[in-house]
Chain A
């Protein structure tokens, strides 16, 4: 029984079907084994058995492995059988249902008849030995067959195991934070990231970042460098969102992905960073941009004009009103400006309360 190999059951080019029969049981020597109901196919090259209940269970032997065959007539309560005597299995045989067997023959039991015709055809093929004249692909010779689909489901099972393993290791790390060196932790985290699994141990390092967000952050740094320089080193996140998505055209970024990528900018030591103002407004600034220094020049501008609203300031400086307001608010926070809030709107003045005694 160890001569059988797993197969897809598909015939190769140059391999032809000769006859097939349902309801065939296989015996390992005299022993009944689990393969009790299948369809037996005879081709020019092989004997293929496929389980009737589970079509994925399919195995074959090469006809060249058959030494000789015998008939066994039916009896009372017994089906007619064909006894197939086999050469020993080659050392490099592909995997099959049995690794080893003490028997050098198998029996095919025809529970739904058809033994006589099958025997006749099998004998014919054994005599003609057509497989010798019709070479088939290497894969058939080595009895491999297309296994891609088998492999995929096995891969999926393996991947699931891997994910479970990673999670359990990650939990162990979390619990034993002190016992594991920083270096090991960093290495492990990078393995997780490369598998596309979000870092479960410290969210702060990469935001809720994954490999995807890391790559995205690097992309953004490339896309935004010039636009930022053109806009005085600072842009609101909504401006960035529009700019980036307009450039992409398809496969638009979700706001969430954009924010998560931006959260990683500083950690990845890229030349831009995400900044959140007290008001909650989010901006991207060049690392070289110093908003606090811009405040000094804002004070000059306001002083020159006596007082300014955010809109007036925005127009003068060539900024968006949103960012203009943030700059004025920052100046107020730093004590350089004070406000006049009336029915006419919000105006900023130089902070004379502090400068005049």
Chain B
């Protein structure tokens, strides 16, 4: 059961949905967006997405964003609240990050190593809340810890086997796993091989 997602305070802050012209401000804004995308995808176990989906997703659309004048302050629990004065009237409007800005956020994620385009036309992408190198490290640590160097595993075993139930990488999607193993391969710590009905990996 997925726990309810807790939106960060920026999600209720209208300027979050406008790409900031001030360079320093923009840097902070983009960092917040990247963080939000990754935690959202992690919670919803979403490893890939199309740009269309992204545009429609609540991730980039806050349908309940409030814009009207009111005293704005941050509560101790980091949620953003409006305190209304007199009867200024509520305005429910939409906070929608424009598609060009979404592209900029995705590009930021790609630069950081958390995103990979799945096609040339950049219509769908792989999203990895942990970078492949980080996953590779975790997997290798488990392999070493359990003294299973020189063992061979199928990909399925790694992510769905009983032995890995307590591990973070348990349930990891194949696309990300493959990239994690490729990273280890680069370091000569593993080798991706073909097994009976699919792929597997040998650790060194």
Q: Is B176 an interface residue (CB 8 A)?
A: no
Cβ contacts under 8 Å, A353 to chain B:
10, 15, 20, 25, 28-29, 32
Alpha-carbon distance A305/B70, docked complex (angstroms): 6
Contact A338 B25 (CB under 8 A): yes
Q: Is B9 an interface residue (CB 8 A)?
A: yes
Contact A341 B22 (CB under 8 A): no
Contact B67 A344 (CB under 8 A): yes
Look across to chain B and name the residue whose beta carbon is closest to the beta carbon of A346.
Answer: B18
* Interface set, chain A 249-280, CB cutoff 8 A to B: none
Q: Is B21 an interface residue (CB 8 A)?
A: yes
Cβ contacts under 8 Å, A338 to chain B:
15, 18, 20, 22, 25
Residues of chain B at interface, number, CB under 8 A: 24
Contact B69 A341 (CB under 8 A): no
Cβ contacts under 8 Å, A144 to chain B:
none
* Interface set, chain A 300-357, CB cutoff 8 A to B: 304-308, 332-333, 335, 338-342, 344, 347, 349-354, 356
Q: Mark B2-22, 1 if CB is under 8 A from A, else 0.
A: 000000011001110110111
- The answer, among A304, A342, A352, for a CB contact under 8 Å with B13, is A352
Q: Is B72 an interface residue (CB 8 A)?
A: yes
Q: How far is the CB of B17 from chain A (nearest CB, A)?
A: 7
Cβ contacts under 8 Å, B22 to chain A:
332-333, 335, 338, 351
Contact B25 A340 (CB under 8 A): no
Q: Is B93 an interface residue (CB 8 A)?
A: yes
Contact A335 B14 (CB under 8 A): no
Alpha-carbon distance A82/B74, docked complex (angstroms): 118
Decide if the interface of chain B is mainly helix, strand, loop or mixed: mixed
Cβ contacts under 8 Å, A349 to chain B:
13-15, 72
- Indicate the size class of the contact surface on chain A: 20 to 34
* Interface set, chain B 90-135, CB cutoff 8 A to A: 93, 95
A344 with B93, Cβ < 8 A, contacts A338-B15, A338-B25, A352-B13 known: yes
Q: How far is the CB of B20 from chain A (nearest CB, A)?
A: 6
- The answer, among B9, B17, B29, B72, for a CB contact under 8 Å with A307, is B72
Contact B24 A340 (CB under 8 A): no
**Which of B13, B15, B67, B72 counts the most chain A CB atoms within 10 A?**
B15
Cβ contacts under 8 Å, B72 to chain A:
306-307, 349-350
Look across to chain B and name the residue whose beta carbon is closest to the beta carbon of A309.
Answer: B69
Cβ contacts under 8 Å, B14 to chain A:
307, 340, 342, 347, 349
Cβ contacts under 8 Å, A356 to chain B:
9, 74
Contact A307 B25 (CB under 8 A): no
Q: How far is the CB of A327 from chain B (nearest CB, A)?
A: 15
Q: How far is the CB of A286 from chain B (nearest CB, A)?
A: 28
A354 with B24, Cβ < 8 A, contacts A306-B69, A342-B14 known: yes
Alpha-carbon distance A263/B24, docked complex (angstroms): 33
Q: How far is the CB of A298 from chain B (nearest CB, A)?
A: 15
Alpha-carbon distance A317/B157, docked complex (angstroms): 68
- The answer, among A307, A341, A342, A354, for a CB contact under 8 Å with B28, is A354
Contact A306 B71 (CB under 8 A): yes
Cβ contacts under 8 Å, A352 to chain B:
9, 13, 15, 74
Q: Mark B25-50, 1 if CB is under 8 A from A, else 0.
A: 10011001000000000000000000
Contact B67 A340 (CB under 8 A): yes
Look across to chain A and name the residue whose beta carbon is closest to the beta carbon of B31.
Answer: A353
Look across to chain B and name the residue whose beta carbon is closest to the beta carbon of A355.
Answer: B74
Alpha-carbon distance A305/B25, docked complex (angstroms): 21
Contact A339 B69 (CB under 8 A): no
Alpha-carbon distance A305/B74, docked complex (angstroms): 15
A340 with B71, Cβ < 8 A, contacts A353-B20, A353-B28 known: no
Q: How far is the CB of B153 from chain A (nearest CB, A)?
A: 42
Alpha-carbon distance A308/B15, docked complex (angstroms): 12
- The answer, among A306, A308, A341, for a CB contact under 8 Å with B18, is A341
- The answer, among A304, A306, A342, A350, for a CB contact under 8 Å with B82, is A306
Look across to chain B and name the residue whose beta carbon is closest to the beta carbon of A348.
Answer: B15
Contact A347 B67 (CB under 8 A): yes
Alpha-carbon distance A351/B22, docked complex (angstroms): 10
Cβ contacts under 8 Å, B32 to chain A:
353
**Which of B10, B71, B72 counts the most chain A CB atoms within 10 A?**
B72
A342 with B25, Cβ < 8 A, contacts A352-B74, A356-B9, A356-B74 known: no
Alpha-carbon distance A1/B119, docked complex (angstroms): 108
Q: List 9 A-B contacts (CB under 8 A).
A: A306-B71, A332-B22, A338-B20, A349-B14, A349-B72, A351-B22, A352-B9, A353-B32, A354-B28
A-side residues, CB < 8 A to B, are 304-308, 332-333, 335, 338-342, 344, 347, 349-354, 356
Given A344-B67, A347-B67, 18 further pairs, Cβ under 8 A: A304-B71, A305-B71, A306-B72, A308-B69, A333-B22, A338-B18, A338-B20, A338-B22, A342-B18, A342-B67, A349-B72, A351-B22, A352-B15, A353-B15, A353-B20, A353-B28, A354-B25, A356-B74
